[in-house]
Amino acid sequence: MLDSMRSTTADIRKLDVAVAAVLSLLGVALMIFNVLEPDDPATEVSVLAVPLFLGVTVPVAWRRVAPLGALAATLIALLVNAALIAGAVRCGVTIPVALLLGFSAASRLDLSRALAALGIALAIGVALVLTDPVFKGLEDLPFILVLMAVPWAIGRLVHSRTRIAADLQARTSELRTARDERARLEVATDRARLSGELDELLQRRLRDLARLAGEGPRSGDAEGTTATLVDIERESRRTLEEMRELVGVLRDDSSHAGTAPQPTLTHLEALLVRAKGAGAGLTVVGNPRTLPVGVELSAYRVVEHLLSALEDSGDVDVRVRFADDALELAVSGPSRRRAGAAIEKARERVQLHSGTLETTTNGKRSQAVASLPVLAGA
């Protein structure tokens, strides 16, 4: 029992230590006033017995971590003290200690150990009735037994409510888990449905594109061929946009990739302002028209890389020229040190379309000119 109490010393709360200290001081003070009589031959024994009364109050510090052991220690200390000092008044401190320990044991222990704690608390009451001169003997025994049993019964009610609260918390956790699982299954079902819609969309769009290509004009009809290619490209763009919407929904929620359409030449002005400020200039020459998706995306990325090779300054110019069979991009501005990596990225983009990229430097100002071939008349 004592080993168990020592092993749980680290879990004792400061409040319980303070309560035990206050009760100990009060108990020792009452013992001194009650048993130390100058003319009493038993004074020498009393002086030795008074500190032993701490055994009744100190176990209160263990009321949360070892309530059953604390009650047993209190009973043993009370019996030892009563054997050494006959006729001393101890109920003023012992009764509150027994009530507090009985409540703590009943509210924290299972039923079998709580019943054992009740038995110890009742034994403390019997010891007080038989040894404390305040009581009139066995006629006060029923009262003291009821007094000891009341906080124990309250403790059992608290224990029951605590257990119900724990069960409710566990049930709530289970319901929350079941709810999350149900939501996950619903999401999985929606993803499967959207996957089917995506497959159906692709099949339908591919049939439409094949039909447009099959119904194209005869060889030599340049205007009809151009119109057919424009229709095919428009349908392809619409297909890509719808696919991106569906894929965006199917993408895992943890993904941070954007679902917005890929940037095109119409986004160059916003890119220029965002990268170099409102003072940067954009000039468009030729006959602006819709170009193949890959060409527009690569043109945007080329300009983006070339801008990163220049200093952050408003003195930056971007020139876009729509030629009959090519798209020319010219970016000039104050050169930046270690700009080689950005220029190489732009060159790789240009080479994907079999284009060219030329760079020149005049003093502190650099210029890069890129040419991307495009289908004539597209």
Residue 374, classified by CB atoms within 10 Å of its CB into exposed (0-12), middle (13-18) or buried (19+), is buried
Confidence of residue 328 (pLDDT cuts 50, 70, 90): very high
Is the pLDDT score of 376 beyond 80? no
Residues 287-307, mean pLDDT to the nearest whole number: 87
CATH number, span 265-373: 3.30.565.10
Is the pLDDT score of 94 beyond 70? yes
What confidence score (pLDDT) does residue 320 get?
A: 93
Is the pLDDT score of 314 beyond 50? yes
CA distances from 80 to 48, 52, 53, 140 (A): 12, 8, 9, 22
Is the pLDDT score of 23 beyond 60? yes
Is the pLDDT score of 8 beyond 70? no
Pick from 4-8, 213-217, 342-346 the range whose average pLDDT is largest.
Answer: 342-346
Confidence of residue 54 (pLDDT cuts 50, 70, 90): confident
Tally the residues of the chain: 378
Better-predicted residue by pLDDT, 11 or 166: 166
Domain boundaries, the chain: 2-169, 265-373
Give the SS3 label for residue 366.
strand
Better-predicted residue by pLDDT, 66 or 237: 66
% residues pLDDT > 90 (the chain): 18
Is the pLDDT score of 185 beyond 60? yes
One-letter amino acid for residue 46 of the chain: S
What confidence score (pLDDT) does residue 248 get?
A: 59
% residues pLDDT > 70 (the chain): 77
Instruction: Enter the tokens of residue 56.
Output: 């009744």
What confidence score (pLDDT) does residue 207 get?
A: 72
What confidence score (pLDDT) does residue 44 get?
A: 45
Evaluate whether 85 touches 46 at the Cβ level (below 8 Å).
Answer: yes
CA distances from 240 to 261, 262, 298 (A): 9, 10, 17
What confidence score (pLDDT) does residue 42 get?
A: 43
What confidence score (pLDDT) does residue 378 get?
A: 43
Confidence of residue 290 (pLDDT cuts 50, 70, 90): confident
* DSSP codes joined into one string, 338-357: T-HHHHHHHHHHHHHTT-EE
Closest Cα partner for 230 from 287, 286, 290?
A: 290
Quick: pLDDT tens for 72-81: 998 998 888 8
Cα dihedral 251/254/255/259 (nearest 10): 60
One-letter amino acid for residue 328 of the chain: E
Give the whole-angstrom CA distance, residue 256 versus residue 271: 21
What confidence score (pLDDT) does residue 358 get?
A: 93
Residues 213-218, mean pLDDT to the nearest whole number: 63
